[in-house]
Amino acid sequence: MLKLDPICWPAPAKLNLFLYINGQREDGYHELQTLFQFIDLCDYLTISPNLSGEITLTPEIKDLPVNENLIYKAAMMLKNNMAEKIDKNLGANIHIEKNLPMGGGLGGGSSDAATTLLALNYHWDLDLTKLQLAQIGLTLGADLPIFIAGKASLAEGVGEQLTTVAPIENHYLVAMPACHISTPVVFQNSALIRDTKKRSLTELMSQNWLNDCEPCVKNSYPKVAKVIDWLLEYAPTRLTGTGACVFSTFSTAQEAQVVLDKSPPWLTAFTCKGLNCSPMNTLLSSLE
């Protein structure tokens, strides 16, 4: 049964707490081991289902046409995949509150797409499993399955093999250097570390964590190096994913805030808390 009441759905950011590259396959993709954890900074999508047959997005996002927005793409993929089973008049207006930086490596686009799939599955009463939703949206972003799954996870292979884990839910200061980093460009860099030995889950969770992309990113992007070097004065700091965002780890919110208060004018940053369960998962569970 169509659930018409509007609901405000969270789309959380993620951090890669570590990232190791174990080798490159013949098809060009890289084998990796990375640990995903959510943070409590979210975009919010208020979805109002209707029987217009149309997907509309508000407000417009500058320099991003609607048909290129991953939210719209996810909604249309779901409609098209279910075309033979659902009313063709099913539609929705999706109002976006955009809080996550675009292109910073926090997974905002993938998270928005995942939230769209999960929310419309609920509103349109499609009864699809999370695995089915992830398969529908797989082309929208390599991080999409982790946002669909909704649990902090170790990702292996090319990122598709997920194992639920429970790292400490630390507090973080996340900084956003004033540059955009292309993930394909990083993975094409000849200086990229590509031969880190695969380790067991026990080994991975008990060692000091690193990001194999960080050395070549720091070398290629001086603004990232400047941010990391400044934050290292105060706390362990690493690149998340291929960047450009970096994060520092603290035991308490107060410790993170103290460093944020000291930050120089050129540093754009915010504090947040790590979450092992996605706020989207929590909301869906409360609606069951």
Catalytic residue among 14, 73, 79, 218: 14
Name the residue among 229, 102, 244, 237 with its Cα closest to residue 176: 244
What's CA 205's distance to the chain center, in Å? 21
Strand, helix or coil at 123?
Answer: helix
Alpha-carbon distance of 156 to 172, in angstroms, equals 24
Alpha-carbon distance of 153 to 66, in angstroms, equals 31
What separation, in Å, do the N-terminal and C-terminal C-alpha atoms of the chain show?
Answer: 14
Alpha-carbon distance of 154 to 37, in angstroms, equals 9
Asked whether 159 and 143 are in contact (CB, 8 A), the reply is yes
Catalytic residue among 112, 143, 212, 218: 143
Tokens coding 4: 């018409």
How big, in percent rounded to 5, are the helix, strand and coil portions of the chain? 35, 30, 40
Tokens coding 92: 């929705």
Residue type, position 245, single letter: C
- Is residue 14 flagged as an active site residue? yes
Residue 255: which residues within 8 A CB-CB, separation 6 or more?
171, 235
Name the residue among 41, 102, 24 with its Cα closest to residue 273: 41
- Report the 10 Å Cβ neighbour count for 102: 12
Residue 35: which residues within 8 A CB-CB, separation 6 or more?
16, 17, 18, 152, 153, 154, 155, 165, 167, 204, 209
Name the residue among 250, 240, 259 with its Cα closest to residue 168: 250
Active site residues: 14, 143
